[in-house]
């Protein structure tokens, strides 16, 4: 059998455009014949390193207003439910991200990821408190309490930190981001198609 190319999908649970990407990437990747590697990470430390202690959508109000409007429009265009705006925004994503890192290579990573994003951006729920994350796990038929506890281990916290350092060292500065096997970085939900094209070996019209 031919080897399918792989695309790494880096996402942050508090990120609005990560939500749009999460809801459409599986169908797009399947159609392109590309395998996905789901890479949860925390954007907070990367933002902090460049001097932001908040979302740029809060720091720059005009940008934030248009982002929410754009998110409404894009969700409608993608036939997603109306957007619910997390309150507060951004949500603290530490507990959910610890769990997602703990779920690396587990078959429940993708259903868990989608459930967290849907809770935050379609169902108007909180994802910030550990109990909220445990409840999402319980609804998936998993043992939320036990998983939360395991995800808070020092070993798992170390893996989370390592993922953040890897993101930064590979040039990631926002979410969602897509990384091909040859290290090409694409930033933003709007670049999903281009990233899949690149992963398939379809480079733009001339050698870059």
- Give me the active site residues, please: 15
Give yes or no for residue 62 binding its own copies (CB under 8 A). yes
Q: Could you give the CA distance from residue 165 to residue 138 in angstroms, rounded to a whole number?
A: 31
Contacts of 137 (CB under 8 A, 6+ apart): 99, 112, 143, 144, 147, 148
Give yes or no for residue 185 binding its own copies (CB under 8 A). yes
Q: Could you give the CA distance from residue 177 to residue 146 in angstroms, rounded to a whole number?
A: 31
Q: Which of 4, 45, 54, 76 binds its own copies (CB under 8 A)?
A: 76
DSSP category for residue 193: H
Give yes or no for residue 200 binding its own copies (CB under 8 A). no
Compute and round to an integer the Cα radius of gyration of the chain: 17
Window 140-179: residues binding its own copies (CB under 8 A): 168, 171-174
Nearer of residues 55 and 113 to its own copies, judged by Cβ: 55
Q: Which of 65, 85, 139, 149 binds its own copies (CB under 8 A)?
A: 65
Q: Which of 3, 27, 79, 141 binds its own copies (CB under 8 A)?
A: 79
Q: Could you give the CA distance from residue 185 to residue 93 in angstroms, rounded to a whole number?
A: 23
Q: Write out the residues near its own copies by the rule CB under 8 A.
A: 50, 60, 62-63, 65-66, 69-70, 72-77, 79, 82, 168, 171-174, 184-187, 190-191, 194, 203-206, 208
């Amino acid at each position: 059998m031919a080897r399918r190319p792989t695309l790494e999908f880096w996402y942050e649970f508090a990120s609005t455009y990560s939500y749009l990407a999460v809801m459409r990437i599986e169908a797009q990747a399947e159609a392109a014949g590309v395998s996905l590697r789901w890479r949860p990470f925390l954007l907070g430390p990367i933002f902090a390193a460049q001097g932001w202690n908040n979302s740029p959508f809060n720091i720059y109000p005009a940008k934030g207003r248009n982002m929410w409007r754009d998110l409404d429009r894009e969700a409608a265009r993608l036939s997603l439910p109306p957007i619910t705006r997390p309150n507060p925004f951004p949500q603290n994503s530490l507990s959910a991200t610890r769990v997602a890192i703990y779920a690396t290579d587990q078959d429940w990573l993708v259903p868990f990821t989608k459930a967290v994003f849907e809770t935050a951006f379609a169902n108007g729920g909180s994802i910030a408190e550990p109990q909220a994350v445990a409840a999402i796990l319980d609804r998936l038929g998993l043992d939320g309490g036990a998983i939360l506890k395991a995800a808070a281990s020092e070993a798992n916290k170390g893996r989370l930190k390592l993922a953040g350092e890897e993101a930064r060292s590979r040039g990631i500065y926002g979410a969602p981001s897509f990384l091909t096997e040859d290290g090409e970085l694409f930033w933003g939900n709007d670049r999903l198609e281009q990233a899949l094209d690149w992963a398939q070996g379809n480079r733009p019209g001339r050698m870059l």
